[in-house]
Amino acid sequence: MRQKEDIVLIGGGGHCRSVIDVIEEEGRYCIAGVVDLREKIGESVSGYKVIADDDSLERLVNDYHLYHISLGFIRDPGRRIFLFDLVRKFGGKFPVIKSPYAYISKRAELGDGTIVMHNAQINTHVLIGRNCIINSRALIEHDVRVGDNTHISTGVIINGASEIGSRCFIGSGAVVSNDIIINDNAFIKAQSLIY
Domain boundary assignment for the chain? 5-90, 99-186
Strands 97-98 and 115-116 come out as: parallel
Q: Can you give the pLDDT at residue 1?
A: 57
Q: pTM, whole model, 2 decimals?
A: 0.96
Residue 3's pLDDT band (boundaries 50, 70, 90)? Answer: confident
Separation between Cα atoms, residue 118 and residue 100, nearest integer Å: 7
- State which fold the 5-90 domain adopts: Rossmann fold (3.40.50)
End-to-end CA distance of the chain: 49
Amino acid identity, position 43: E
Q: Can you give the pLDDT at residue 152?
A: 98
Q: Can you give the pLDDT at residue 2?
A: 67
- DSSP SS3 for 121: strand
Q: Which CATH superfamily is domain 99-186 in?
A: Hexapeptide repeat proteins (2.160.10.10)
Separation between Cα atoms, residue 150 and residue 184, nearest integer Å: 9
Q: Is the pLDDT of residue 103 over 70?
A: yes
